[in-house]
Amino acid sequence: MLVYLITQTLNGLFSAALLFLIASGLTLAFGVMKIVNIAHGSFYMLGVYVAYTVIQRTQSLLLGSLVAIAVVAAVGFVMQRVFLRRFAADPLAQMMMTMGFALLFRDAALMIWGGDPFTLQYPAVLRGSMEAGDVVFPWYRLFVIIVAALVGVALWTINERTLIGARLRATVDDPEMASATGINVAQLSGLVFAAGAGLAAFGGVMGGPILGGYTGVDFDLLPLAFVVVIIGGMGSLKGALVGSIVVGMIDNFGKALVPELSYFTLFAPMILVLALKPTGLYGRA
């Protein structure tokens, strides 16, 4: 029983790690630009597909990650600067636009890579499982948990300890005041959007060996990421972290215990949080 509990908790942490990589970009884009980015799952998907192409040629997960992050961040940057920026004051128009991009990316991916599902290869070092007593847990999943934790620490450091982070926090708090004090909000927005896209792509590469790439992966993960952001509070990194862990755990235990209702089990905490605190755990109105 205890072994089962520990294994499931570790699995939950693995889901949480992936969710955190996806949701942190989503929540920051929302905080700075009020963008409800329907295409955020597509960034994850594009990350898997780009990495797939690179890894097939080079057998390197590291190289795959780097190229995927760079390509998808560039896509995100162009999307924000050329299209979304025109509708900075209109969240609905921005949302519709990202919806358009989500459909476009999905079909483009289908056109370029075909519809066959695949999983990414990963280094032999990470194959096999860790064994501690009766608990058996794959090394790769542990690796992802650690990497996500490192990314979390890095994001936290940037957010709390650097000038860019200070500007970012100021903009999340009050974009107009921030821009009045000389912060280049437009530039920052592009940067945040690109970084969020890159992070989601990285999430895709990290999840690729387990979840793989297939048509529809974009919209499979999107609602989970949204639930994370809603629970944690929009615009809050800490919220994304806590939300990821909550959703990762619930999703995992829900799938293990009541598989038919697995999606439904996510619903309860969301309603609870919304009823008690409509802005989410760490969000501000």
Partner 1 sequence: MAGRRPGRNSVAIALAVALLVVAPPLLPSYWVGLLTQMVILAILAMSLDILLGYTGLPSLGHAAFFGVAAYAVAVLSVRYGANFWVCVLGGILIGTLLSAVLGLIVSHVRDVYFLMITLAIGMVLWGLGHRWIPVTGGDNGISGIPPLEVHAGLPFQGPLALHYATLVVFLICAGLMRLVVRSPFGLTLRGIRENEGRMKSLGFNTWLHCYLSFVVAGAFASVSGVMWAYYNGFVSPTYLDLTASSELFLMVTLGGPSTLVGPMIGAGAIVLLKNVMSAYTARWLLILGIVYIVAILAAPQGLWNLRKRPSA
Q: Exactly one of 234, 240, 242, 249 binds partner 1 (CB under 8 A); which one?
A: 234
- Cβ 262 vs Cβ 17: under 8 Å: no
Q: What is the DSSP string of 135-182?
A: EEEEHHHHHHHHHHHHHHHHHHHHHHHSHHHHHHHHHHH-HHHHHHTT
Specify burial of residue 49 (Cβ count, 10 A radius: 0-12, 13-18, 19+): buried
Q: How far is the CB of 273 from partner 1 (least distance, A)?
A: 10
Residue whose entry in the numeric block shows the structure tokens 């056109």: 111
Q: How far is the CB of 248 from partner 1 (least distance, A)?
A: 16
Q: Taking CB under 8 A as the rule, which mask of x and - marks residues 22-61 in contact with partner 1?
A: --------x---x-x-x-----------------------
d(CA 129, CA 124): 12
Three-state secondary-structure class, residue 45: helix
Which residues between 130 and 159 bind partner 1 (CB under 8 A)? none
Six-digit token string for 270: 């969301």
Question: By CB under 8 A, is residue 92 in contact with partner 1?
Answer: yes
Q: SS3 for 91? A: helix
Number of residues that bind partner 1 (CB under 8 A): 48
Among 56, 146, 267, 284, binds partner 1 (CB under 8 A): 267
Residues 6+ apart with CB under 8 A from 62: none
Site membership for partner 1, residue 269 (CB under 8 A): no
CB of residue 154 to partner 1, shortest distance in Å: 26
Query: By C-beta, is 82 or 150 nearer to partner 1?
Result: 82
Cβ closest to partner 1, residue 117 vs residue 278 = 278
Q: How far apart are CA 238 and CA 232, in angstroms?
A: 7
The footprint of partner 1 (CB under 8 A) covers 30, 34, 36, 38, 83, 86-87, 90-93, 95-97, 99-108, 110-111, 219, 222-223, 226-227, 229-230, 234, 259-264, 266-267, 270-271, 274-275, 278-279
